[in-house]
Amino acid sequence: MPAAVPARVPWPAVMLHVVGIGADGWDVLPEPTRALVRSAEVVLGAPRQLGLLPEIANQRRTAWPSPLRERLPGLLADLAGELDRAAVVALASGDPLVAGIGSTLVELLGPESVTVHPAVSSVALARARLGWPAETVEVVRDPGTVVRHLAPGRRILVLSQDAATPTQVARALVGSGFGASGFTVLADLGAATESVRRSTAAAWTGDAPALHVLAVECAGGPAHGLLAGLPDDAFESDGQLTRRDPRAGALARLAPLPGNLLWDIGAGAGSVAIEWLRAHPTCRAVAVERVPERAARIARNAASLGVPALTVVTGAAPAALADLPAPDAVFVGGGASAPGVLDACWSALPRGGRLVAHGVTIETEAVLARAYGERGGELVRISVEHAAPLGGLTGFAPARTVTQWAVTKP
């Protein structure tokens, strides 16, 4: 399921200080920051970061739990029960609010309980080493989404997850036709052990140092455009696919907005949900598909097109919708004529929510016409013809006409 906003952890009237520390360690921290760390009764951090500190008598040091997102609220709740006026410091890499623990702590405790003391981020150090102005660079926090950002001449900084990340990204670039891209691993930035390794995506082999940033200078193609309407052959499909032109029309009416959640029901190849997610990095989507083979195919399509966060639910609507988080928009690509599907979608939508449903059969068209009569909106028939050989000449071959109902809930 798409990640829900976590509940706040009750926290006493004690400020938690998040201190950014670089690979260059303790000695380069400003003296006021070092004094803050020395005065702390409790210091939280990764083992590597805790190891950068000098010994401080009677100071309690605790490593982050694993898995972090699941166990961090429990750690903070336990700690809160022990605190009175004790100073608490959490160590972070560089700028704690650049894809760092600082963002998570603010989310869990609230900004009023957290003070952030940033150091220079690895992103800033990487740009400095490369001479890349900030406005020319895309920063990618999830290596699995890199292919969504590919375009000739584009510069990308990938915040790697581990030593194997460059190999993962290199394979994705080669598979997308961008194997000629410049590929630079900048490791241990700011430390005495700092290193730079240059390659191309196609030539990259081996692992990288665990602490690194990956810089990509895109070369190759073809690249997918930013607007809705990817070519049909961008998707693996058994024929159950919302085709390019009706899909573009559906997405225009679904109107993706940052942070919005889409239900894609009867998802087929997942094309509408995938393009919804490509519209903005914070968009969320659930694809509901009753056929297991198609559900597996949807997940593969999402990964290959750079949106691996797509949630795939195997099941038939409306039963499969019961436990889903409330959507901001719903697309019904298949099954609109099944009893209760449109009513369940309408009930789940908030005011201002958007619903788009497609049909290609007489039975579904009748259901959509009735819904249009009851709830208004737009009812459109989309007919597309493609040029194709006809004998020794060329003629237009019509695709199956799609009836589209689109409505915004008042």
DSSP-based helix, strand, coil % in the chain, nearest 5: 30, 25, 45
Comparing 22-26, 158-162, 345-349, the range with the smallest average pLDDT is 22-26
DSSP state string for 106-160? HHHH-GGGEEEE----HHHHHHHHHT--GGGEEEES-GGGGGGG--TT-EEEEE-
Q: Which of 26, 20, 53, 33 is nearest to 191 (CA)?
A: 26
Comparing 73-82, 299-308, 361-370, the range with the smallest average pLDDT is 73-82
Q: What is the pLDDT of residues 217-273, one digit of tens each?
A: 999 999 999 899 999 999 999 999 999 999 999 999 999 999 999 999 999 999 999
Domains defined along the chain, listed by start = 16-120 (3.40.1010.10), 123-217 (3.30.950.10), 232-408 (3.40.50.150)
The greatest distance separating any two alpha carbons of the chain, rounded to the nearest whole angstrom, comes to 89
Q: What is the pLDDT of residues 153-206, one digit of tens each?
A: 999 999 998 999 999 999 999 999 999 999 999 999 998 899 999 999 999 999
pLDDT (0 to 100) of residue 285: 98
Overall residue count recorded for the chain in this entry: 410
pTM of the full structure: 0.89
